[in-house]
Structure 1
């Protein structure tokens, strides 16, 4: 049972406000035009340790295209498109790759404010349906002749499928890269004074938000090349996280949930670095790191999640 809890924990924990006047502040505002196009390399790394031993070490990468479809005085419409590598991402045997070829290309249409702040995904319903169909096909592919394992996997994936049914779930659970891409836009950042605040993290499965104690500060400014580096450090509230997971496991009908989670210790810390060209308004490199330490029923585990977004120059 503990293995089920650990699996669910690490599967769902990937869920992922200010303005000030400062003469030394750096502002990040988008200066895009219709037709502007940028390519980015996205690299994801996921590592897990159990009882001090490395039990998982996966990595994947893909090229995403950022295209400005429309530009008005108050908004931008963006298309973010990329080709999926489902075989490596889901550890699917290569002989089944052709069965999933219809899911290879994903296009996300979303809008931002005139300053580049993320507003929302417009085609989230189509993406949500595609993800549900993908999960169903992966389930059939991997567990075709294993009815017990298939049923267990389907139950474990029910909460994820519920996230695909909402706009917020699609935006926060599937496309974290886009959230990171637009995170600093529309704000001023002091070069001298760090900003600390409590950030509410939406709960994609419903229920209360999770509080995150956050610190933002400028690491460096290169005026010659018109770039700056912003650091974001955030610690998720352990009690909020424990409550969210307890409610989630109840929905999944996981036995002994309350008893095990009463004494669970969860420590989640983010350290993200954002490097931007502040004259053009585009990221040069974004590196995110989430470190999760969980102790459930005296069984400890560690997970490291990394995402790197790098602009590809012509």
Structure 2
């Protein structure tokens, strides 16, 4: 979805030169100049926690490695394999480790356009089927755990369709290719509106987005880019209220009226250092969802090994 903004707010890029950084006009083109069978390995960490008042709850810290390999390239596209391995959920809980392990050694095949801008997951059906087999085994092995069906059903829903996988299951991939496919000018903020997938169902959320080329390092042939994204607060609050109220109604649980429901804010900040070849060196995405006295925090770091 982020690529829609890039296409809408940037102009056509010339492909007659290899160099992405142009010191004469202080610009950078973020394009993938990748060779077939080229591989880079990344270490990815994902931290989540919630704060309610002064209490921190539901803390999660997961680390894993990904081998990113260029499987094929044409004049119009790249086919790229993301191989997930060494997944560590940061806990000794047997179920949590088995649940995290269903993605170990999973291959996600994606396609980008000729500039390296993400287009689609190619092997989504194979991924869906692998997840279904794995969750079926988990339900048998851990049938004694309360709500095991609910937990595994939630995992399956994330991988149930091509759209679900692209919106929910491969956030690290989406983060990696955030800036590919556009040209940026040093110190010049690019702003606009961007539709964001509504994971609660219903129409996409509107969001305000700002992108900035913050720094150019010509000696090392890399640059730092930053993005700020804020979801429409009213749309987010309305959709969350409707979703939670529907669940409460099904169970007969009392639920507050809309005017007493707290306002939600959702802000995402993404920064990346990208090499002139189009390979990401380092990327950090931080998401904060806040309301009265509460915070849901998530941070994902992608670092080349």
Instruction: Tell me which interval the TM-score lies in, with the shorter structure as reference length.
Output: 0.7 to 0.9
Partner of 2:287: 290
Partner of 1:106: 106
1:79 to 57, 63, 81: 81
Work out the CA distance in 2 between the residues paired with 1:283 and 1:57.
28
Decide whether aligned partners of structure 1 residues 96 and 191 sit closer, same or farther in structure 2, where only a CA change above 3 A counts: closer
- Maintained 8 Å contact 2:66/2:85: yes
Decide whether aligned partners of structure 1 residues 247 and 94 sit closer, same or farther in structure 2, where only a CA change above 3 A counts: same
Decide whether aligned partners of structure 1 residues 29 and 51 sit closer, same or farther in structure 2, where only a CA change above 3 A counts: same
Residues 135-214 of structure 1 correspond to what in structure 2 (within 5 A)?
A: 135-142=135-142, 144-146=143-145, 149-150=146-147, 154-155=149-150, 158=153, 161-214=156-209
Structure number having the greater helix percentage: 1
Deviation of 1:95 (Å): 8.3
- The answer as to 2:119 corresponding to 1:126 is no
Where 2:40 maps in the other structure, the secondary structure is: strand
Decide whether aligned partners of structure 1 residues 156 and 83 sit closer, same or farther in structure 2, where only a CA change above 3 A counts: closer
Partner of 2:222: 227
- The answer as to 2:44 corresponding to 1:45 is no
**Runs of 5+ consecutive residues of structure 1 not aligned to the other structure:** 1-16
Work out the CA distance in 1 between the residues paired with 2:35 and 2:251.
50
- The answer as to 2:214 corresponding to 1:215 is no
Deviation of 1:41 (Å): 0.6
Work out the CA distance in 1 between the residues paired with 2:258 and 2:105.
39
TM-score, length-scaled by structure 1? 0.80
Deviation of 1:139 (Å): 4.8
Where 1:188 maps in the other structure, the secondary structure is: strand
Deviation of 1:205 (Å): 4.9
**Runs of 5+ consecutive residues of structure 2 not aligned to the other structure:** 13-21
- Maintained 8 Å contact 2:87/2:101: no
Partner of 2:266: 268
Aligned length: 284
Partner of 1:31: 33
Deviation of 1:165 (Å): 2.1
Aligned CA-pair RMSD? 2.8
Residues 65-76 of structure 1 correspond to what in structure 2 (within 5 A)?
A: 65-76=67-78
Work out the CA distance in 1 between the residues paired with 2:74 and 2:188.
34
- Maintained 8 Å contact 1:70/1:77: yes
Decide whether aligned partners of structure 1 residues 101 and 200 sit closer, same or farther in structure 2, where only a CA change above 3 A counts: closer
Deviation of 1:245 (Å): 2.4
User: Which string of whole-angstrom CA distances, capped at 9 and with x for unpartnered residues, describes residues 265-292 of structure 1?
Assistant: 21111121111012x1110100111111
Deviation of 1:168 (Å): 1.4
TM-score, length-scaled by structure 2? 0.82
User: Which string of whole-angstrom CA distances, capped at 9 and with x for unpartnered residues, describes residues 199-233 of structure 1?
Assistant: 11012454210111111112211111111101111
- Maintained 8 Å contact 1:242/1:261: no
